[in-house]
């Protein structure tokens, strides 16, 4: 069975999508539609912008979504997933790939999500850190022992968890987790504590936008970040998508459930190769490829 997976924030790179725009008329039309919806020529930043310009949340999230979804669209009838999943932001791309959301509606939601997250970041200085070489339980216990806000945010693969919280919470957690045996505790260059309780203001804004958006019956199940389980019910998909902003991304568990349900080939659709690497770390036997 074929599983299609879609990357999240951090996979962007200067020049992303330019070859697609120049080589496919279908892609060109969709890129221009994206320019209309975003209200500025996001293609100029994607194709010719610097790495720093691409890092702005209001640009990064729509850019990765646009690149992934247009790439999937150019596959045409070849894109026949038996199941889909996306890492954080990538969940929106996955929901276009299985027909739950239209390109236009999903892009509008991604823009609202990016703006809402930017707003939440400005309300409270916060950050994230990657913890390497520790088991999940130890990371969870150390985070729970700290009085500041600090929680596991991304279960990326065995031995790699990203934590999220207040500046002080992350500082204390990095010290404690290193003492607990972490090989590395690396503060990340991000604008805020994504997938933590500090994103509650963003969750409230996104919930309103999602409630007002039409969600269709999907062509195949989406394995959602919040519980790592397959879902085909539009109402439940909406709920899980809202909850995702303040809950951890259970990527390890999602991939494990997809494999248990028969996935034999994972295809990453979008910029970068991050998810291919993570799938291989979760299951060495799994076949992976990228588009």
CATH number of 279's domain = 3.40.366.10
Phi, psi of 105 (to 5 degrees): -65, -40
* pLDDT higher at 272 or 239: 239
* 180 and 228 Cβ atoms separated by less than 8 Å: no
**Mean pLDDT score, 233-260:** 97
Residue 141 lies in a domain: yes
From CA 133, how far away is CA 135, in angstroms rounded?
7
Q: 147 and 222: one domain?
A: no
114 plus 41 within the same structural domain: yes
Task: State the catalytic residue, choosing from 11, 68, 88, 126.
Answer: 88
pLDDT value of position 196: 97
Q: Is 88 in the active site? A: yes
Pairing of strands 2-6, 265-268: parallel
The secondary structure of 20-51 as a DSSP string is HHHH-HHHHHHHHHHHHHHTS-HHHHHHH--H
Q: What is the pLDDT of residue 16?
A: 94
Question: What's the chain's average pLDDT?
Answer: 95
Flag whether pLDDT at 18 surpasses 80. Answer: yes
Task: Kindly state whether residues 84 and 222 are assigned to the same domain.
Answer: yes
**Residue 179 in this model has a pLDDT that exceeds 90:** yes
- CB-CB neighbours of 224 under 10 Å: 26
pLDDT category at 41 given cuts 50, 70, 90 is: very high
Across the range 129-157, mean pLDDT stands at 97
Q: Which of 182, 228, 204, 192 is nearest to 85 (CA)?
A: 228
* Residues 40 and 117 both lie in one domain: yes
> Residues 9, 141: one domain?
no
Q: Which of 135, 161, 187 is the last residue of a domain?
A: 187
Residue 52 predicted with pLDDT over 90: no
Q: How many CA atoms lie within 13 A of 265 on its CB side?
A: 10
pLDDT interval class at 215 (50, 70, 90) = very high
One domain for residues 39 and 173? no
Same domain membership, residue 235 and residue 135: no
Question: What one-character-per-residue DSSP string does 229-274 give?
Answer: -EE--HHHHHHHHHHTTTS-B-HHHHHHHHHHTT--EEEE-SSSSH
Active site residue 196: no
* pLDDT tens digits for range 164-176: 999 999 999 999 9
Are 10 and 130 in the same domain?
no
Assess if residue 192 is contained within a domain. Answer: no
Number of domains in the chain: 2
Range of the domain at 178: 125-187
pLDDT beyond 90 at 10:
no
Lowest mean pLDDT among 78-87, 218-227, 251-260: 78-87
* 20 within some domain: yes
- Is the pLDDT score of 77 beyond 80? no
Residue of 67, 87, 195, 257 marked catalytic: 195
pTM for the structure as a whole? 0.95
For residues 24 and 98, membership in a common domain is answered with yes
Q: Which residues are CB-neighbours of 245 under 8 A, at least 6 positions away? A: 113, 116, 117, 194, 195, 199, 202, 203, 206
Q: How confident is the model at residue 136 (pLDDT cuts 50, 70, 90)?
A: very high
> Do residues 116 and 231 share a domain?
yes
The residue among 187, 216, 240 that closes a domain is: 187
Query: CATH number, domain at 182?
Result: 3.30.70.250
Give yes or no: residues 97 and 222 share one domain: yes
Which domain-ending residue is among 142, 158, 187? Answer: 187
What pLDDT is attached to residue 54? 87
The answer to whether residues 114 and 131 belong to one domain is no
């Amino acid at each position: 069975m074929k599983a299609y997976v879609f990357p999240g924030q951090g996979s962007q790179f200067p020049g992303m999508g330019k070859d697609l725009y120049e080589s496919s008329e279908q892609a060109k039309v969709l890129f221009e539609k994206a320019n209309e919806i975003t209200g500025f020529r996001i293609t100029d930043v994607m194709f010719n912008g610097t790495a720093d310009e691409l890092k702005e949340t209001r640009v990064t999230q729509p850019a990765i979504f646009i690149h992934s979804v247009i790439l999937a669209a150019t596959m045409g009838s070849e894109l026949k997933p038996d199941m889909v999943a996306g890492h954080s932001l990538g969940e929106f791309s996955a929901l276009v790939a299985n027909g739950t959301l239209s390109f236009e509606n999903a892009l509008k939601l991604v823009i609202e999500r990016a703006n809402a997250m930017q707003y939440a970041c400005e309300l409270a200085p916060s950050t994230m850190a990657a913890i390497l070489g520790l088991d999940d339980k130890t990371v969870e216990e150390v985070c729970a022992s700290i009085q500041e806000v600090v929680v596991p945010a991304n279960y990326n693969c065995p031995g790699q968890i990203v934590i999220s919280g207040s500046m002080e919470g992350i500082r204390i957690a990095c010290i404690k987790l290193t003492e607990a045996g972490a090989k590395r505790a690396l503060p990340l260059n991000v604008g805020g504590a994504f997938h933590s309780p500090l994103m509650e203001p963003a969750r409230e804004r996104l919930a309103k936008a999602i409630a007002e958006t039409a969600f269709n019956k999907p062509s195949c199940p989406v394995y959602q970040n919040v519980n790592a389980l397959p879902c085909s019910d539009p109402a439940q998909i909406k709920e899980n998508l809202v909850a995702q902003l303040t809950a951890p991304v259970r990527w390890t568990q999602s991939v494990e459930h997809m494999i248990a349900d028969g996935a034999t080939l994972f295809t990453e659709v979008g910029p970068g190769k991050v998810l291919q690497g993570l799938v291989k770390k979760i299951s060495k036997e799994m076949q992976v490829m990228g588009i």
